[in-house]
Structure 1
Amino acid sequence: MKRLKIVLPQWEGGVNPNYVLGDRLMDLIVPAEQLPTVTIPVADVNDPEVLERQHGIDAYQALQGQLTAVQGVLATMQPDKVLMVGGECAVSLAPFDYLSGRYGRNLGIVWLDAHPDISTTEESHHLHEMVVSSLLGKGAPGFNAHHPLASDQVILAGLIEEDLRPMDHNVFDYQVQRMTPKQLREAPNALSDWVRGHGFKQVAVHFDLDALSPTAFRSIYPAEPGTDPANFPAAVGQLTLPEVANLLTQLDQNAELVGLTVAEHMAWDALNLRQSLSGLSLLE
């Protein structure tokens, strides 16, 4: 089976340059040194024109270019399995669409995230908030999947339902199955049961680190030092690393794991240390 790792420090879909350093560090953390690797360049974080809004999407041109670059790599190398080490959540769009085209209805998608990422340009201008809707073929203009998934091929795992926002209404409109952290704890086999119950032979997992609790994992957006996660303006994850590790292991044992994205690593200590040293004349 041909495997490929793609490193994409994409920040534009969340309009947050901090994801660039987070992705570079994540590339060192993920234990996949043996995999052939392609790194996709991203736009200059200091270029104000990068974020120009077109068709309701901030940084439309930059994101289109990066999407096309990843699609080109996948079309050329034709891997059977893809590991995506990414910045914000929109990095899953190209590889999961590719895997959908490769495996069709045999593919199930586990979206491990505190948020559903299922908006459209009517509710958001950030591509990372509409990745799932785009994979379903109902999302962002110019970013909808070439091989759209059916709603029953996706499960939203770790979703904080009580904190869903009006922009998340498509969770209900598209009838996507979902499981809260509490449900995952009460039924540790639920995701693997979902895979077997639907007859999926292959599975791809999108792991947004925001699915984790800020008390269990500090390198996520809601865990910014000096702030209270209770005041974070979106849902805050509740899972622990051991719980996620168990879920991933079970999925790996009950289906062929052909895709994995690890995204939204916010390395606060590294970012703050870098910023603290940046003004020193010795380093200029």
Structure 2
Amino acid sequence: MIWIDAHPDIMTAGQYPNAHAHLLAILMGEGDADFVATVPNRVKPKNVLYVGLTETTPYETDFITKHGIARLSPEDLQNGVAPVTAWLKAHGLKHAAIHFDLDVLDPGLYDFLLFRNPSARPGAFDGVAKGRMTLSQIQQILLSISSVSDIVGLAITEYLPWSVIELSRELRKLPLLGNAGGAR
């Protein structure tokens, strides 16, 4: 499992209320019992590689250390993606499932990220780890993974096209497209 993300997604409801931050822990068999019960084949922490992970909270750092999960920061990959393929080869992993959370990308470069929400109050994302990677780097990583392993799954998450969302809201106000003016 290659987890390309600025966040490790291993919190529980005790650390963070939003379940999207719990996902990898659940896949590993930890967290909310009802969700964990839905995972028939749990991911072994030794088979997880974080790519692009930035700052972590003390809870996240302890979890990662306790479980021995490998991680590569954007800085670890600044000279190329060889560390990713080296990890796959060292673990003899012939198949890779990939979680690609777009928040691993630099919000200064891409406007479809949570951190670019034009309606967010000032300071809403202060203290939240932000990505520092580019789409070109992610493309190189995915190509390198596919050169040594079969990619058997790819999830791309947290795409938030703010201008499209706003356009949709406004179009719903028009006749025929929404309830503007009511039915005649």
Bin of the TM-score, shorter chain as denominator length: 0.7 to 0.9
Partner-residue secondary structure (3-state), 1:275: helix
Q: Secondary structure at the match of 1:117?
A: coil
Q: TM-score, normalised by structure 1?
A: 0.57
Tell me how far 1:238 sits from its aligned partner: 0.8
Uncovered stretches (5+) of structure 1, i.e. residues with no partner: 1-108
Partners of 1:124 and 1:167 within 8 A in 2 = no
Contact 1:214 1:229 in 2 (8 A): no
State whether structure 2 residue 131 is matched by structure 1 residue 242: no
CA distance in 2, matches of 1:255, 1:190: 14
Question: Is residue 2:150 matched to residue 1:150?
Answer: no
SS at match of 2:64: helix
Number of the residue aligned with 1:263: 157
1:194 to 72, 87, 91: 87
Q: Any conservation in 1 of the 2:113–2:158 contact (CA below 8 Å)? A: yes
* Farther off after superposition, 179-188 or 256-265: 179-188
| Alpha-carbon displacement from aligned partner over 1:237-258 (angstroms, at most 9, x marks no partner) | 1110100000000001111111
Distance in 1 of aligned mates of 2:20 and 2:133: 21
Structure 1 distance, partners of 2:115, 2:176, is 33
Pairwise CA distance, 1:216 = 2.5
| Structure 1 residue 183 corresponds to structure 2 residue 76 | yes
Normalising by the residue count of structure 2, what TM-score does the alignment of the two structures yield? 0.85
* Map of 2:182 onto structure 1: none
Counterparts of residues 1-284 of structure 1 (less than 5 Å): 109-144=1-36, 145-161=39-55, 164-168=56-60, 169-225=62-118, 232-233=125-126, 234-281=128-175, 283=177, 284=179
TM-aligned CA distance change 1:232 to 1:238, over 3 Å? same
Separation in 2, partners of 1:215, 1:175: 32
Percent identical across equivalent pairs? 29
- Distance in 2, matches of 1:226 and 1:128, equals 21
CA distance in 1, matches of 2:48, 2:96: 10
Describe the superposition over 1:144-202 as per-residue Cα deviations: whole angstroms up to 9, x where unpaired: 232122211001110112xx224524223322111111111234211111100110011
What is the CA–CA distance in structure 2 between the aligned matches of 1:192 and 1:245, rounded to whole Å? 14
Tell me how far apart the structure 1 counterparts of residues 161 and 73 of structure 2 sit (CA, whole Å): 26
**Alpha-carbon distance in structure 1 between the residues aligned to 2:83 and 2:147:** 13
Classify the secondary structure of the residue corresponding to 2:151: strand
Distance 1:250 1:182 in 2: 17
Check 1:237–1:150 CA distance in 2 against 1; reply closer, same or farther (3 A cut). Answer: same
CA–CA distance in structure 1, aligned partners of residues 151 and 32 of structure 2: 27
Which residue identity does 1:205 align to in structure 2?
I
Q: Which amino acid aligns with 2:168?
A: R
Letter of the 1:129 counterpart: A
Corresponding residue number in structure 2 for 1:64: none
**1:108-154, CA deviations, whole angstroms, 9 ceiling, x for partnerless residues?**
x1000000001123223322111111111112212223212221100
Q: Secondary structure, in 3 states, of the residue corresponding to 1:262?
A: strand
Q: Which amino acid aligns with 1:206?
A: H
Q: Distance in 1 between the 2:25 and 2:77 partners?
A: 23
